[in-house]
Amino acid sequence: MRPEYRPGGDTWNAIVVEDDDANITPQDQAIANLNRAVRNYQPRRRPIRENRRSEQIVGEVHYQNESLDEVQHEEDILGELGEVIDLTADDDPIIYRDRYFKVEFLRVTEIIQRGFPGEEFARGVPYARNKSLGGQLPRKRNEVFAIYEIQYDDPRPVERQALIEVPVLELGASRRLHITNAPFPAHRYDPGMFPDEQAAEREGPLVCRWKVSAYFQSARTHAALKACEWAIARIASSEVPEADFRVPEETLSQNWRGPTIRGGAHNPPPFAQTHRRMPVRGEGQRYEMFDAFCGAGGASRGAERAGFKIKGGIDMARHACESYRINFPRAELFPMTVHEFLFATRHQELRADVLHLSPPCQVWSPAHTVDGVNDDANVAALFSCRQLIEKFRPRIFTLEQTFGILQKKFELFFNGLVAGFTDSGYSVAWKVISMANYGLPQRRKRLIMLGAGPGEKLPDWPPHTHSETGGDGLRKYTSIRQALSKINDYIERTDPHHRPVVTPSAVGAVVSDPDGILRRCMTTSGGQNRHYSGTRNYTNREFACLQGFPVWHRFSEFSVRKQIGNAFPPCVVQVFYEHIQKYLHRADGFLGSSRPRPVVGEGSMVLTVDIDDERNIDGRTVHRAIQIDDEDVEMVDPETYGRPSPASSRTLSPDFSPNRLAEFINLDQY
């Protein structure tokens, strides 16, 4: 049937992947050819350049000259998207859907009579052909997806919210529908049973392997067709009604990535764990994370603090790689472009439990109005995310990007990015988040994507940890003063990146209330944020703290502010990766805490102390461990996370005195 009723909105028209539909326009064909060329691109070695030092100096000068445009980066994006993004609803940006889905089919679940006889309505789940999704799913003949529109304020189950009503008189001929979680082309129509392709499209069975969900804050935003979150998810085995079309999720995972080690690929025990992960050989089993486009290690630091083992990283920026190597000496660093990495490892099989992607974002900024020498490389890096997924075949991936890529003029690139994931069988969700809601002391908004491989369920989004006013279980926004509070006398004496100097105020400089968050988003040039004293600029160490880095994270000598501004804030990453770790822990069938041991940095130590007023929680005595990272002390529960091994300890800094230790610890808050 093809009812005229159109209940929802369409996404952007974009790249067509592996099209076998003869009814396409020349423009669609050109886009398909472009995407196929990107997919089949063979990376080559980049010639080794001489005199790297002078090259980096030239880069620094060029960067300084562009700083004024960079200051306007976030503001320009907001201005460009002002008509299509609502930044007022619950402090979450809302992505506007400017066209309707064209509902082509209805899986009828019930018939309803209203009014006079003959005024019957069919109620059911709507479906549309994959080709209507603008390239986010492969255009295959008779492949369809289910449409779900979900309101956060609607208490009904998702399955009920998805139903629409269509007059019975508008129903056409019935069609066979195969709902399956098997990969394409299983259960597709038999071409030999139809005289031509047109007949197959009119009469052949439809196959549904995907469902597309649009989430709305309320009935008001639903009526305005403004979604705050999107998801394209594979049909799960539990959603397949007919056994003949059902494939075990374990089989899908095995066929895609090979054996999966429950509990994490790092340091697994010699025997299968049935209930909880236990520390073994002094360190404990952990999930592994690989950091593509790793920079100075913002995402890696946040994931490590969440409990992940950092397997390695890739980045081509020389000074950022120096910082990464300092902070993660045991991780395997590939200081090269992604394409060089793919070429160098073309004969190796690499795996990671979780893969993070932060491809360059400058091309997608509205402030980027003139083509640059690195534009082609940055576009290629975006599409290399598909190749990285195929290389590492992670269970879960995360991606961080500027939300400028959601602009209309970049729809081909964004949809091509999504297609790169779905073409490999990955479910993917995306939304624009305000990082202040996750502890960052600035109103920084970024596009975040979550993906789950074949055999894995798509994780939900981590709940907010902070709000502007606090309350209802949330902490108040992290203030500038709080973020800078760990910079103490010891840091001021020893840190080369903390050298406050009184300077005159520059034109356009912004001074923020120290008990609030930054009024201006921080960029690689600092965003013209001035210290709240009004007498000087922030130091690089202060900027690192305002970007969510722990105070002991180290940086190389050059391009420090650029490294900080480009980083995915570690404090936000930690919240996301703690959430992902809990998801994997539950998916693997484990009980108890998802963190196997105290999270210890590469250059840190742990002490275990007894507290006089021991607390009894759930029938057990709780002792406290103090994690000391020379300049950073945190309280953790060793009974929950596992006691550290002697190998984790080392000698304290000579400047670290008992009095200084007491300054850090406030047992009352624990």
Element (DSSP H or E) covering residue 86: strand 85-86
* CATH code linked to domain 9-38+96-250: 2.30.30
Q: Has residue 57 got a pLDDT over 50?
A: no
Task: Give the bridge partners for 286, in sequence order.
Answer: 266
- pLDDT tens per residue, range 188-197: 999 889 999 8
Task: For domain 288-476+569-578, say whether CATH 3.40.720.10 is its number.
Answer: no
Highest mean pLDDT of the ranges 398-407, 410-419, 433-442:
433-442
Q: Percentage of the chain surpassing pLDDT 70? A: 69
Q: What is the longest distance spanned by two Cα atoms in the chain?
A: 89
Is 114 exposed, middle or buried (CB count within 10 Å of its CB: 0-12, 13-18, 19+)? exposed
pLDDT (average), residues 355-370: 66
Q: What tokens does 367 get?
A: 């402030």
d(C-alpha 275, C-alpha 594), whole Å: 11
d(C-alpha 58, C-alpha 12), whole Å: 39
DSSP letters, 596-651, are -S----TT-EEEEE--TT-EEETTEEEPEEEEE-SS-EEEE-HHHH-PPPGGG--P
pLDDT (average), residues 597-604: 44
More confident of the two residues 604 and 645:
604
Predicted confidence band at 35 (pLDDT cuts at 50, 70, 90)?
low
- For the whole prediction, is pTM greater than 0.75? yes
Element (DSSP H or E) covering residue 36: helix 26-39
- Answer yes or no: are the C-beta atoms of 529 and 508 closer than 8 Å: no
Q: What tokens does 429 get?
A: 């969700």
Distance from chain centroid for Cα 662: 38
- Tell me the one-letter amino acid at 469: T
Q: Has residue 591 got a pLDDT over 50?
A: yes
What's residue 99's pLDDT? Answer: 38
DSSP letters, 517-580, are -BSS---TT-TTEE-TTSSBBPPHHHHHHHTT--TT----SSSHHHHHHHSPPHHHHHHHHHHH
pLDDT (average), residues 381-392: 88
Q: Which DSSP state fits 366? A: T
Other beta carbons within 10 Å of 238: 9
Q: Has residue 133 got a pLDDT over 80?
A: yes
d(C-alpha 629, C-alpha 354), whole Å: 26
| Look-up of token digits 């406030």 | 666
Q: Three-class SS of residue 259? A: coil
Q: Which of 362-371, 544-553, 554-563, 625-634 has the lowest mean pLDDT?
A: 625-634
Task: Give the bridge partners for 625, in sequence order.
Answer: 608, 636
Q: Percentage of the chain surpassing pLDDT 90? A: 51
Q: Has residue 66 got a pLDDT over 90?
A: no
**Composition of the chain by helix, strand, coil, percent to 5:** 30, 20, 45
What's residue 543's pLDDT? Answer: 95
Torsion angles phi and psi, residue 325, rounded to 5: -65, -35
Pairing mode of beta strands 206-216, 143-151: parallel
What's residue 525's pLDDT? Answer: 72
Element (DSSP H or E) covering residue 111: strand 105-113
d(C-alpha 88, C-alpha 274), whole Å: 47
Q: Has residue 329 got a pLDDT over 50?
A: yes
Other beta carbons within 10 Å of 204: 19
Query: Where along the chain do its domains lie?
Result: 9-38+96-250, 288-476+569-578, 603-669
Q: Has residue 637 got a pLDDT over 50?
A: no
d(C-alpha 528, C-alpha 499), whole Å: 18
Predicted confidence band at 49 (pLDDT cuts at 50, 70, 90)?
very low
Q: Has residue 563 got a pLDDT over 50?
A: yes
DSSP letters, 309-337, are EEEEEE---HHHHHHHHHH-TTSEEE-S-
What's residue 36's pLDDT? Answer: 63
- Answer yes or no: are the C-beta atoms of 359 and 349 closer than 8 Å: no
What's residue 19's pLDDT? Answer: 52
Q: What tokens does 35 get?
A: 């995407």
* Strand spans (E) along 283-424: 288-292, 309-314, 332-334, 354-357, 396-401
More confident of the two residues 179 and 489:
179
Predicted confidence band at 92 (pLDDT cuts at 50, 70, 90)?
very low
- Answer yes or no: are the C-beta atoms of 609 and 623 closer than 8 Å: yes
- Tell me the one-letter amino acid at 36: R
What's residue 199's pLDDT? Answer: 92
Predicted confidence band at 606 (pLDDT cuts at 50, 70, 90)?
very low
Q: Which of 92-106, 426-440, 569-583 has the lowest mean pLDDT?
A: 92-106
Q: Has residue 206 got a pLDDT over 50?
A: yes
Is 656 exposed, middle or buried (CB count within 10 Å of its CB: 0-12, 13-18, 19+)? middle
Q: What tokens does 396 get?
A: 């879960």
Angle formed by the axes of helices 298-306 and 570-587, to 10°? 50
Q: Has residue 664 got a pLDDT over 90?
A: no
What's residue 130's pLDDT? Answer: 93
What's residue 443's pLDDT? Answer: 85
What's residue 596's pLDDT? Answer: 59
Q: Which of 262-266, 285-289, 589-593, 653-657 has the lowest mean pLDDT?
A: 653-657
- Tell me the one-letter amino acid at 203: E
d(C-alpha 661, C-alpha 670), whole Å: 16
Task: Give how far Cα 189 sits from Cα of 185, 201, 217, 416, 482, Å.
Answer: 9, 9, 39, 27, 62
As a whole number, the mean pLDDT across the chain is 77
Count of helices and strands (H, E) across the chain: 20, 28
User: How many degrees, rounded to 5, is the angle at CA 247 between CA 245 and CA 248?
Assistant: 150
Element (DSSP H or E) covering residue 343: helix 338-344
Q: Three-class SS of residue 277? A: coil
Q: What tokens does 428 get?
A: 């993917």
Q: Which of 30-44, 248-262, 566-580, 616-630 has the lowest mean pLDDT?
A: 616-630
Q: Which of 205-219, 242-256, 542-556, 654-668 has the lowest mean pLDDT?
A: 654-668
What's residue 103's pLDDT? Answer: 86
Q: Which DSSP state fits 462? A: P
d(C-alpha 588, C-alpha 627), whole Å: 28
What's residue 348's pLDDT? Answer: 95
- Answer yes or no: are the C-beta atoms of 578 and 394 closer than 8 Å: no
pLDDT (average), residues 377-397: 86
d(C-alpha 371, C-alpha 391), whole Å: 31
Other beta carbons within 10 Å of 100: 13
Q: Which of 157-166, 216-225, 226-235, 447-456 has the lowest mean pLDDT?
A: 216-225
Q: Has residue 527 got a pLDDT over 80?
A: no
Predicted confidence band at 106 (pLDDT cuts at 50, 70, 90)?
very high
Q: Three-class SS of residue 227? A: strand
- pLDDT tens per residue, range 226-235: 888 999 999 9
Q: Which of 236-245, 396-405, 628-637 has the lowest mean pLDDT?
A: 628-637
pLDDT (average), residues 433-446: 93
d(C-alpha 670, C-alpha 662), whole Å: 15
- Answer yes or no: are the C-beta atoms of 627 and 304 closer than 8 Å: no
Q: What size, in residues, is the chain?
A: 670
| Look-up of token digits 């049935």 | 274
